[in-house]
């Protein structure tokens, strides 16, 4: 294994990134934290002659709250930035918790949300919770800016709506009345395991009635998916454990997992049932919170 | 959390948790491993391996690779000796490079030496090998069927070895049984996964070959390299640097030494060869997959009358240490429990998969898992408490196993009782809340093998101590190999104790075939006992000479003098004193170097039947383990909460290092129990040859470990020592499986005990219960 030769650019402006991408075409690729890209380059599964680093673009790093817009997360924001953000800890602890249970500390220090999303791996941990919170992706291209709801961003494993010369700049979580949200990553060990199933939910309650609910599933379909049947089973109903079980069953039926070395489709499907139920319950009863294989030992 | 037992207060150096002799260097990152070494003009080498599980080599064209700038040599089977080798002379079936066909994905075909690593990878891509792909044998259970392709033409029905042993009167035992039970279990293929990858740097000077290697045994490397190249052993020097773990996977030549030696010779430059993580998995030599059927006859009290084990092992494409693994699988089973009648059948079969070998605990842990589950099933059939049935069957000291292994010290009964008390077994068993369970299992292992891997009358261990000329320090020269387990520390403690010197002034030179005396190396948990015995003898020889000098300096009879912790004193007169250093310095002035030497050869051990030698040992360790688990009923997630490990390992030289071994063994056992498995696609290619998908536990997965010791003294070991390194791996898989059963009432009869298997078993149980309603 070795790192092949490539030309390296570290432009000062986002516009420059787009023009370099346009100039070099399919020979060029954006380099953010590099935790996906460099691994693939070393393994020889991809090959680029030009890497365009986002390193100098400090405006893409960080989390702000913008009145009327919501929480805006720059694409270069690292996983540990998400973990340690005061804004997120206060408003959407569920995001910080989701980021906290990714990879290991070294990767969290360098891996970015932009890379996690654009990479479009079905098991990626950040898309489900951002989809459950209705996140919007801001994309910049040579023709200007456009926005896409995150849930419409993915078109297949490794595929997105992004054009070759576009860059993701921000991910925005609009202001919302949600009561709580939650992401459960089900991996096969406590740390450093990719999700076998990931379930995120957000719920808006009115008294005991579920006014609105969003459920997003990871690792059980070609793209992170909304479990719309499960949501429909909940909305307008009174919260009971049986209702959550029904939603779990609906989610398990509408997902389309595959069997691989991490788990059979059958197991994944049933885990969607279990974790949909558990995630919803947490969203209803614990506010914006996080959970990961929470067992006695893990606490 | 660890519980220390002081065995004997009378020692000045041993029995104490002195800091590791290499601790500072390792913790600060100063320690150099083979991969860290660089030599002037050094080249880098890489091996080209087969992409097919089974294929005939039609042609190899290296011309394009040779033309690439920076490539200094390309070699294939034509450039190396065709003599077959293998770590075990029982079957020499490997070639440095494949000649006519490749036998697994990863089999070695050619090698390059280049100016840098990058060029190596580019050169490998330019070597054109034309293959005719052959049907492959991937399933060990059908490998022996008529009409299956043959992995090696000379081994009919792909049988690498078969073992049929019978002891006592099986017929009678089964005829008189109150209860007979048969169970079947499967053990998976695992890989040692040492943190440090294999590497070797080879160089020649005036016809002498020197190899720095990440190895568990410089001696076996030296022996096999000399044999392969027709050299005198004296012209081959093997040195080990620091080693980042081996666990059995670095015992045999890896191919890096052979290829590197030839590349270095052809280029006249040092050549560094190494495996990356995926290549380590492909080279393998990890634990065999085993298919295990056990039938036992017991009386009404659960006392075992007779036992029949019937196993099949997937050996992979070559023998490696697998003949020994196969024997060990059955031979070590009668250690922990006493019964007279025993039958053991085994087939080790060849498949077109990477070769399996010895992994911590060697052949023993999986059969132990099977037997411990089986024993719990018997206990349940007879309504006997699992701890109680083990205590009833526990081996007693000074007994002989049915297969003629003599047991001296044996405190397994106390281990069980203590583990029961520490864990609160009596209060917990049957009384834990739903989803919570407690299990018990035992283990045992050899403290060194009674016979070396190839036939020779060399002593098993030897040592030399040189006291420095001014008497302020002493250097221990030993062939023993510290691969992280701490033998350099323990042996230095032993040397200081035997000489009457201090540990802090001990230096050590170890595992260099040129400067240190012979030792077979780090395997079979042998060094504390065997290398320790040689070191003790060497230290005592120094002490004898030193006291003789002191007697003449002090004008007192030698029998009135003794030395301890660096001070010579008179037994009769407390006013007399002389320092070790002064006496040692005077010795050098008057008589020359103060040197002591020692060697160790075990007594003749074992019975007369075929294979009787495998499993013999001067001493056996024993242990009991209790674990408590919590199972998530909906997901099958297994949470190991607490483990209580109690060991009978004789006198403990360094309690800190001992408990470290127990923790490490539990870590490995935990991984093998729940997560680890080498997986293949339908073409025989490993699909998880990386640390993301071959899941070793992380620190967060470790349970609380309570490590306890039973006072014991082993007459066959120096100061009464026995092993702990491998025996401690033995009980874990069975212990967890039994705890899971206790929690949920489901028996997982194949390893690893994955969450999904537990989930499926629970689902099937529910469905069965519903159907019965
Ligand atoms: C050991 C290890 C453990 C891991 N564990 C996890 C885990 O638990 N959960 C998980 O979800 N992932 C995990 N990952 C995957 C990876 O770390 C994450 O997906 C990470 O977020 C990727 O971000 P990056 O900045 O490193 O991306 P990069 O590697 O820099 O980029 C990835 C891809 O995205 C593109 N890209 C990056 N930023 C932008 C942008 N702003 N606009 C357009 N395109 C862009 C790049 O061109 C590239 O194609 C792990 C990886 C490793 C190596």
Closest by CA position to A258, among listed A266, A270, A250, A246 = A266
Indicate whether B290 belongs to any domain. no
Which is the closest atom of ligand 1 to the Cα of A112? 25
Residues B252-269 have pLDDT tens digits of 999 999 999 999 999 999
Q: What is the pLDDT of residue B223?
A: 97
Strand (E) or helix (H) holding B552: helix B532-554
Are residue B224 and residue B77 in the same domain, yes or no? yes
- Which residue in B has a C-alpha nearest to residue A5's C-alpha? B118
Cβ–ligand 1 distance for A81 under 6 Å, the answer: no
One domain, residues B476 and B595 = yes
Token pair listed for A197: 């199933």
Q: Give kind and range of the element (H or E) at residue B436.
A: strand B436-446
Which ligand 1 atom minimizes the distance to the CA of A79? Answer: 21
For B26-51, give the secondary structure using H, E and C: HHCCCCCEHHHCCCCCCEEEEEEECC
Q: Are residues B267 and B119 in the same domain?
A: yes
Phi/psi for B94 (5° steps) reads -110, 150
Angle CA B543–B547–B548, to nearest 5: 115
Q: What residues of chain A lie within 8 A of the CB of B688, using their CB?
A: 261
Gap between the Cα atoms of A102 and A129, Å rounded: 13
If one counts every other C-beta atom within 10 angstroms of the C-beta of residue B79, the result is 18
Q: Is A118 in the pocket of ligand 1 (CB under 6 A)?
A: yes
Separation between Cα atoms, residue A70 and residue A138, nearest integer Å: 13
Mean pLDDT of B356-383: 97
Q: How far apart are CA B464 and CA B598, in angstroms?
A: 6
| Neighbour order of strands in the sheet with B638-648 | B436-446, B620-631, B638-648, B704-709
The average pLDDT across B220-239 equals 97
Work out the percent of chain B whose per-residue pLDDT is above 90.
98
* pLDDT over 70 at B4, yes or no: no
- In the numeric block, which tokens belong to residue B772? 């019965």
Residues of A in contact with B695 (CB under 8 A): 188-189, 193
Q: Contact, B359 vs B393, CB < 8 A? A: no
With 80 as the cut, is the pLDDT of residue A294 above it? no
Between residues B90 and A102, the one the model is more confident about:
A102
| Chain Cα centroid distance, residue B528 | 14
Please give the structure tokens belonging to residue B71. 């490539």
Name the interface residues of B facing A (CB cutoff 8 Å).
117-118, 121, 276, 630, 632, 634-635, 637, 639-641, 675, 679, 687-688, 692-693, 695, 697-701, 703, 754-756, 759-760, 763
Q: How far apart are CA B444 and CA B429, in angstroms?
A: 24
Phi, psi of B274 (to 5 degrees): -155, 160
Q: What is the mean pLDDT of residues B667-682?
A: 97
Please check whether residue A77 is in contact with residue A113, taking contact to mean a CB–CB distance below 8 angstroms.
yes
What is the torsional sign of CA A221, A222, A226, A229? negative
Cβ-contact B151, B56 below 8 angstroms: no
Q: Is residue B3 part of a domain?
A: no
Count of domains forming chain B: 3
* Chain B contact probe: residue of A188, A194, A195, A277 with most B CBs at under 10 A: A188
Between vectors from CA A158 to CA A154 and to CA A159, what angle results, nearest 5°? 45
Interchain contact, A1 vs B630, CB within 8 Å: no
- Verify whether the Cβ–Cβ distance B698 to A190 is below 8 Å: yes
Residues of A in contact with B687 (CB under 8 A): 261
Residue spans of beta strands (DSSP E) within B262-415 = 271-274, 289-298, 304-316, 341-350, 399-400, 406-407
CB-count burial class (<10 Å; 0-12, 13-18, 19+) for B588? middle
DSSP state string for B255-285: SHHHHHHHHHHHHTS-EEEE--HHHHHHH--
pLDDT at B90: 87
For atom 2 of ligand 1, the residue with the nearest CA is: A103
Query: CA of B755: which chain A residue's CA is closest?
Result: A188
What residue numbers bound the domain in which B260 lies? 34-134+197-243+250-283
Q: Are B597 and B499 in contact (CB under 8 A)?
A: no
User: What is the least distance, in Å, from the CA of A280 to any CA of chain B?
Assistant: 16
| Ligand 1: centre distance to CA A168 (Å) | 13
Nearest CA to ligand 1 atom 51: A35
Tokens representing residue A15 in the block: 């516009």
Alpha-carbon B165 to chain mean position: 25
pLDDT of residue B6: 42
Domain coordinates of chain A in residue numbers? 7-53, 58-174, 180-294
Q: Do A189 and B634 touch (CB under 8 A)?
A: no
> How would you classify the pairing of strands A50-53 and A28-31?
parallel
Q: How far is CA B571 from the centre of its chain?
A: 44
Distance CA B549, CA B707 (A): 45
On average, the pLDDT of chain A sits at: 95
Contact B568, B547 (CB under 8 A): yes
Q: DSSP state, B513?
A: T
Nearest residue (CA) to ligand 1, atom 34: A115
Cβ of residue A63 lying under 6 Å from some atom of ligand 1: no
Q: Percentage of residues in chain A with pLDDT exceeding 90? A: 94
Q: What long-range pairs does B417-420 form, CB within 8 A, spacing at least 24?
A: B417/B391, B418/B624, B418/B646, B418/B708, B418/B710, B419/B624, B419/B625, B419/B626, B419/B644, B419/B645, B419/B646, B419/B708, B420/B387, B420/B626
Q: How far is the CA of A46 from the centre of ligand 1 (A)?
A: 14
Q: State mean pLDDT over B471-478.
A: 98
CA distance A171 to A150: 8
CB contact under 8 A, B701 and A186: no
Domain boundary among B576, B600, B624: B600
HSE-up (13 A, CA, CB side) for residue B443: 36
* Distance from the alpha carbon of residue A118 to the mean position of ligand 1, in angstroms: 8
> Which residues, in sequence order, are CB contacts of B757 under 8 Å at separation 6+?
B636, B748, B750
Does B631 reside within a domain? yes
Q: Measuring CA to CA, how many Å separate B416 from each of A250, A254, B388, B678?
A: 50, 51, 9, 33
Confidence of residue B9 (pLDDT cuts 50, 70, 90): low
- Confidence band for A297, pLDDT divided at 50, 70 and 90: very low
pLDDT tens digits for range A156-214 = 999 999 999 999 999 999 999 999 999 999 999 998 899 999 999 999 999 999 999 99
Interchain CB distance below 8 Å, A296 and B755: no
Residue B118 with chain A: CB contacts under 8 Å: 2
Residue in the block written with tokens 């890096």 = B256
Residue B404 lies in a domain: yes
Distances (CA, A) of A220 to A160, A161, A261, B22, B393: 17, 20, 14, 49, 50
Class of domain A58-174: alpha beta
Interface test with A, best of B119, B635, B678 (most A CBs within 10 A): B635
Q: Using the atom order of ligand 1, give the atom closest to the CA of residue A78.
A: 25
Copy the structure tokens of residue B158: 């792909």
Q: What is the ipTM of this complex?
A: 0.96
The predicted structure's pLDDT at residue B773: 84
The structure tokens listed for B173 are 């035992």
Class for the domain spanning A7-53: alpha beta
Beta bridge pairs of residue B374: none
Tell me which residue has its CA closest to atom 35 in ligand 1: A115
| Spatial distance between the Cα atoms of B273 and B34, rounded to a whole number of angstroms | 10
Give the distance from residue B698's alpha carbon to the nearest chain A alpha carbon, in angstroms: 7
CA A251 – CA A275 distance, rounded (Å):
10
Minimal-distance CA residue to ligand 1 atom 1 = A103
CB-based contact B237:B210 (threshold 8 Å): yes
CA contacts within 13 A on the Cβ side of B276: 16
Contact between chains at B637 and A190 (C-beta distance less than 8 A): no
Establish if B205 belongs to a structural domain: yes
| Ligand 1 atom index nearest CA of A162 | 43
Looking at the partner chain, which of A189, A261, A274 has a beta carbon nearest the beta carbon of B698?
Answer: A189
Q: Does the Cβ of A194 fall within 6 Å of ligand 1?
A: yes
Q: Is A51 in the pocket of ligand 1 (CB under 6 A)?
A: no
Please tell me which of the candidates B117, B635, B687 has its beta carbon nearest to residue A261. Answer: B687
Radius of gyration (C-alpha) of chain A in whole angstroms:
19
What are the beta bridge partners of residue B439? B627
Confidence band, pLDDT 50/70/90 cuts, at residue B219: very high
Q: By the 8 A CB rule, do B290 and B312 touch?
A: yes
CATH 3.30.413.10 for domain A180-294, yes or no, is no
B409, B464: one domain: no
pLDDT at position A290 is: 80
Q: Give A82 Cα–ligand 1 centroid separation in angstroms.
A: 14
* Helix ranges, B232-364 (H): 256-267, 277-283, 322-331
Please, which pLDDT band fits residue A291 given cuts at 50, 70 and 90?
low
**Which sign does the torsion angle of CA B493, B498, B499, B501 carry?**
positive
| Cα gap B247→B224, rounded to integer Å | 20
Task: Confirm if B724 and B661 have CB atoms less than 8 A apart.
Answer: yes
- Taking CB atoms and an 8 Å cut-off, how many pairs form between chains A and B? 57
Give the model's pLDDT for residue A121.
97
Same-domain check for residues B479 and B577:
yes
CA A57 to centroid of ligand 1, rounded, Å: 17
Gap from B428 CA to chain A (nearest CA, Å): 17
Q: Using beta carbons and an 8 Å cutoff, which residues of A are at the interface with B?
A: 1-2, 186, 188-194, 261-264, 267, 270-271, 274, 293, 295-298
The 10s digit of each residue's pLDDT in B522-558 is: 999 999 999 999 999 999 999 999 999 999 999 999 9
Mutate to test the interface with A, among B695, B704, B743, B752 (most CBs of A within 10 A): B695
The answer for B486, left when phi > 0, alpha when psi is -120 to 50, beta otherwise, is left
For the cut 90, the answer to whether the pLDDT of residue A299 exceeds it is no
Note the pLDDT of residue A9. 98
Distance from CA of B634 to the nearest CA of A (A): 7
pLDDT at B331 over 60: yes
Decide if A255 contacts A153 (C-beta within 8 A).
no
B34-84 confidence digits (pLDDT tens): 999 999 999 999 999 999 999 999 999 999 999 999 999 999 999 999 999
What's the CA gap between A76 and B34, in Å, rounded? 38
- Answer yes or no: is B103 within a domain: yes
**Token pair 């076998």 in the structure block, residue:** A196
Secondary structure (DSSP) of B581-593: HHHHHHHHHHHS-
Rg of chain B (C-alpha set): 27
Q: Given an 8 Å threshold on Cβ–Cβ distance, is A190 in contact with B756? A: no
Phi-psi region at A70: left, alpha or beta (left = phi > 0; alpha = psi -120 to 50): left
- In this structure, the residue with its CA closest to atom 28 of ligand 1 is A34
Q: How far is the CA of A113 from the centre of ligand 1 (A)?
A: 7
Q: Is B463 left (phi over 0), alpha (psi -120 to 50) or beta?
A: beta
Q: Could you tell me the two tokens for A270? A: 């049933």
Residue whose CA is closest, atom 3 of ligand 1? A103
Enclosing H/E stretch for A241: helix A241-254
Burial A217-228 (b: 16+ CB within 10 A, else e): bbbbbebbbbbe
DSSP symbol at B527 = I
User: Is B344 part of any domain?
Assistant: no
B524 and B557 part of one domain: yes
Interchain CB distance below 8 Å, A190 and B701: yes
Cα B536 from Cα B542, distance rounded (Å)? 10
């Amino acid at each position: 294994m070795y790192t092949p030769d490539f030309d390296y650019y570290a432009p000062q402006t986002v516009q420059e990134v787009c023009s370099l991408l346009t100039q070099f075409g399919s020979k060029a690729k954006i380099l953010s934290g590099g935790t996906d890209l460099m691994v693939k380059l070393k393994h020889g599964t991809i090959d680029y002659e030009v890497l365009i680093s986002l390193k100098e673009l400090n405006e893409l790093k960080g989390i702000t709250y913008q009145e009327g817009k919501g929480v805006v997360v720059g694409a270069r924001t690292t996983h540990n930035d998400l973990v340690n953000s005061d804004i997120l800890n206060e408003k959407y602890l569920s995001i910080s918790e989701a980021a906290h249970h990714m990879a290991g500390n070294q990767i969290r220090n360098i891996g970015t949300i932009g890379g996690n999303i654009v990479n479009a791996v079905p098991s990626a941990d950040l898309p489900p919770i951002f989809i459950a919170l209705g996140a919007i992706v801001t994309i910049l291209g040579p023709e200007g800016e456009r926005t896409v709801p995150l849930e419409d961003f993915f078109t297949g494993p490794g595929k997105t709506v992004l054009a070759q010369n576009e860059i993701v700049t921000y991910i925005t979580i609009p202001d919302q009345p949600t009561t709580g949200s939650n992401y459960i990553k089900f991996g096969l060990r406590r740390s450093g395991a990719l999700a076998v199933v990931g379930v995120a939910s957000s719920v808006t309650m009115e008294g005991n009635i579920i006014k609105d609910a969003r459920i997003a599933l990871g690792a059980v379909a070609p793209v992170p998916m909304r479990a719309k049947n499960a949501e429909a089973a909940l909305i307008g109903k009174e919260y009971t454990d049986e209702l959550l079980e029904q939603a779990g069953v609906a989610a398990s039926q509408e997902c389309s997992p595959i069997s691989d070395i991490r788990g059979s489709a059958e197991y994944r499907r049933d885990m969607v049932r279990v974790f949909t139920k558990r995630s919803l319950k947490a969203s209803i009863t614990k506010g914006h919170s996080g959970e990961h294989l929470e067992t006695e030992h893990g606490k | 959390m660890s519980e220390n037992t002081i065995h004997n207060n009378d020692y000045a150096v041993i029995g104490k948790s002195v800091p590791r002799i290499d601790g500072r260097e390792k913790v600060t990152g100063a320690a150099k491993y083979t991969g860290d070494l660089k030599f002037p003009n050094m080249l880098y080498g890489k091996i080209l391996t087969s992409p097919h599980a089974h294929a005939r080599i039609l042609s190899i064209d290296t011309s394009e690779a040779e033309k690439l700038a920076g490539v200094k040599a390309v070699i294939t089977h034509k450039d190396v000796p065709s003599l077959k080798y293998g770590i075990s002379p029982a079957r020499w079936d490997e070639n440095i490079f494949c000649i006519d066909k490749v036998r697994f994905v990863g089999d070695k075909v050619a090698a390059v030496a280049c100016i840098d690593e990058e060029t190596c990878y580019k050169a490998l891509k330019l070597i054109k090998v034309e293959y005719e792909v052959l049907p492959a044998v991937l399933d060990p259970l059908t490998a022996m069927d008529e009409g299956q392709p043959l992995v090696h033409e000379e081994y009919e029905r792909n049988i690498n070895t078969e073992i049929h042993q019978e002891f006592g009167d099986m017929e009678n035992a089964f005829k008189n049984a109150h209860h007979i039970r048969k169970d079947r279990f499967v053990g998976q293929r695992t890989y040692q996964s040492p943190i440090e990858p294999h590497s070797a740097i080879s160089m020649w000077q005036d016809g002498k070959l020197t190899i720095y290697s990440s190895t568990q045994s410089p001696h076996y490397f030296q022996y096999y390299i000399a044999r392969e190249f027709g050299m005198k052993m004296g012209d081959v020097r093997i040195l080990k640097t620091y080693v980042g773990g081996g666990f059995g996977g670095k015992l045999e030549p890896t191919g890096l030494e052979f290829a590197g030696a030839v590349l270095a010779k052809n280029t006249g430059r040092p050549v560094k060869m190494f495996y990356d993580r995926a290549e380590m998995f492909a080279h393998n030599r990890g634990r065999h997959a085993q298919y295990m059927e056990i039938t036992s006859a017991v009386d009404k009290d659960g006392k075992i009358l007779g036992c029949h084990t019937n196993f099949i092992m997937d050996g992979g494409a070559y023998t490696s240490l697998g003949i020994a693994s196969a024997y060990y699988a059955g031979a070590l089973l009668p250690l922990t429990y006493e019964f007279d009648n025993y039958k053991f059948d085994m087939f080790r079969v060849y498949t077109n998969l990477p070769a399996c070998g010895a992994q911590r605990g060697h052949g023993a842990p999986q059969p132990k898992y099977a037997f411990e589950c089986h024993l719990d099933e018997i206990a349940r059939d007879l309504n006997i408490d699992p701890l109680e049935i083990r205590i009833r069957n526990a081996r007693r000291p000074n007994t002989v196993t049915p297969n003629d292994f003599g047991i001296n010290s044996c405190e397994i009964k106390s281990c069980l009782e203590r583990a029961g008390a520490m864990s609160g077994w009596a209060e917990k068993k049957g009384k834990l809340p739903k989803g919570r369970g407690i299990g018990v299992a035992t283990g045992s292992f050899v403290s060194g093998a009674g016979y070396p891997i190839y036939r020779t009358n060399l002593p098993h261990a030897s040592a030399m101590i040189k006291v420095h000329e001014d008497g302020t320090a002493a250097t221990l020269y030993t062939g023993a190999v510290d691969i992280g387990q701490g033998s350099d520390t323990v042996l230095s403690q032993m040397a200081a104790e035997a000489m009457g010197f201090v540990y802090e002034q001990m230096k050590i030179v170890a595992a260099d075939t040129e400067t240190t005396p012979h030792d077979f190396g780090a395997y079979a948990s042998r060094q504390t006992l065997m290398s320790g015995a040689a070191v003790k003898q060497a230290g005592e020889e120094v002490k004898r000479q030193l006291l003789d000098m002191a007697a003449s300096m002090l004008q007192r009879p030698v029998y009135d003098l003794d030395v301890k912790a660096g001070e010579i004193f008179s037994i009769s007169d407390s006013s007399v004193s002389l320092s070790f250093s002064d006496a040692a310095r005077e010795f050098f002035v008057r008589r020359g170097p103060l040197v002591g030497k020692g060697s160790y050869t075990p007594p003749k051990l074992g019975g007369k039947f075929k294979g009787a030698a495998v499993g013999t040992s001067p001493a056996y360790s024993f242990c009991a383990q209790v674990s408590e688990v919590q199972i998530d009923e909906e997901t099958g997630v297994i949470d190991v909460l607490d483990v209580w490990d109690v060991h009978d390992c004789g006198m403990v030289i360094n309690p800190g290092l001992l408990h470290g071994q127990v923790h490490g063994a539990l870590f490995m056992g935990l991984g093998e129990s729940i997560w680890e498995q080498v997986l293949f696609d339908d073409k025989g290619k490993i699909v998880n040859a990386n640390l993301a998908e071959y899941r070793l536990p992380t620190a967060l997965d470790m349970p609380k470990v309570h490590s306890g010791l039973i006072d014991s003294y082993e007459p066959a070991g120096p100061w009464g020592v026995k092993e702990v390194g491998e025996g401690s791996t033995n009980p874990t898989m069975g212990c967890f499986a039994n705890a899971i059963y206790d929690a949920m009432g489901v028996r997982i009869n194949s390893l690893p005990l994955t969450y999904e298997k537990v989930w499926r078993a629970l689902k099937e149980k529910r469905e069965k219960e519903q159907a019965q309603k």
